[in-house]
Structure 1
Amino acid sequence: MLTSDLRRVLDSAAIAHLATVSADGAPHVAPVFVGTEGDRVVVFTGPDSKKSRNLHRDPRVALSVATADDPFTPVVVRGRVIEWIDGDEAWEIVDRVAGKYIPVPYPRDDARVVAVIEPEVQRVGMG
């Protein structure tokens, strides 16, 4: 279950940095739009992106989130991708999440998939 503090951050327009594990074991970090779907965390990406390839091979993720009003308060999520959503259902999530960041529907130029993350560790602040 997401804490109310974490849900508040994830439902805002805070930018997250998603860390995945590359095939050679090296970390790969990329900024992503982030949101919630029920008690899970969602991010989206291209189905053939490095993020997607890494997560299909090794579903472990870490997210570091910076809020606009307090970018130095640590917001951390660690967990695993437990589901992939594509097609119309994915586009509904993409548009909802992206709508926090951009004032128009997300461009349909390239395919997008949604990674659903089950949080195992969640922290807002130093606690």
Structure 2
Amino acid sequence: MEPTTTLDIRYSDPGAVPTPWSEARELLERAETYWLTTVRADGRPHVTPLLAVWRDAALHFCTGPEEQKARNLEHERRCALTTGTNALHEGLDLVVEGRAERVTDPGRLKDLAAAWEAKYGPGWRFGVGDGVFTHEAGGEALVFALVPGKVLGFAKGSYAQTRWSF
């Protein structure tokens, strides 16, 4: 399903055009580092870098069950994943907002494990346990899918703010 695309002229240069969803989706697929924003139980924000893969119209990420982001997602599944560039005058930054849902299906986990290794190399080879990723170094990781509800794109150079609604 293609999202509805709108240009926010309040934050865009005169004559700017919206960024095509295909360009944003490609960046979500190829980006290496993402920033996850969750909310702690007391309402304070928590932001941390992580790796993710785009698969089946969602960004997927994993975390140890004892990590702060996992504890945050226990009580509040709404979150945001951000990626892009640190450059001021070029590139595209993206903010993906939605609700993170656990992935526990063994078939999906195997597919995602293969996607992680294909994207990040053999150091990111996961096995599949009972509803989790496993790693030869030990430990388990919970896997989440963030299906976008809204994505904001911030094009730089010719500045344009695009919103994709799903």
Give TM-score, length-normalised by structure 1: 0.80
1:78 maps to 97
Question: What is the letter of the counterpart of residue 118 of structure 1?
Answer: V
| Counterparts of 2:42 and 2:117, CA distance in 1 | 31
Q: Take 1:71 and 1:92, find their aligned partners in 2: how far apart are those partners?
A: 34
Q: Write the letter of the residue equivalent to 1:112.
A: A
What runs of 5+ residues in structure 2 fail to find an aligned partner? 3-20, 127-134, 162-166
Query: Partners of 2:85 and 2:118 in 1: how far apart?
Result: 17
For 1:2-51, what per-residue CA distance to the aligned partner results, in whole angstroms no more than 9, with x for missing partners? Answer: 63223211211431000000011111011111122211221111123211
Residue 120 of structure 1: which of 149, 154, 157 is its match? 149
Query: Could you state the TM-score of these two structures normalised by the residue count of structure 2?
Result: 0.64
Aligned to 1:56: 74
Give percent identity, aligned residues only: 29
Post-superposition CA distance 1:29-86 (Å, at most 9, x none): 11111122211221111123211111121011111102599986321111111x2113
Q: RMSD of the alignment, in Å?
A: 2.7
Amino acid of the residue matched to residue 109 of structure 2? A
The range that moved more, 69-78 or 22-31, is: 69-78
Higher Cα Rg, which structure: 2
Ranges in structure 1 where 5+ consecutive residues have no aligned partner = none
When the two structures are aligned, how many residues end up with a matched partner?
Answer: 126
Query: What is the CA-CA distance between 1:102 and the residue it aligns to?
Result: 3.0
Aligned with residue 31 of structure 1, among 24, 44, 49: 49
Deviates more, 1:12-21 or 1:71-80: 71-80
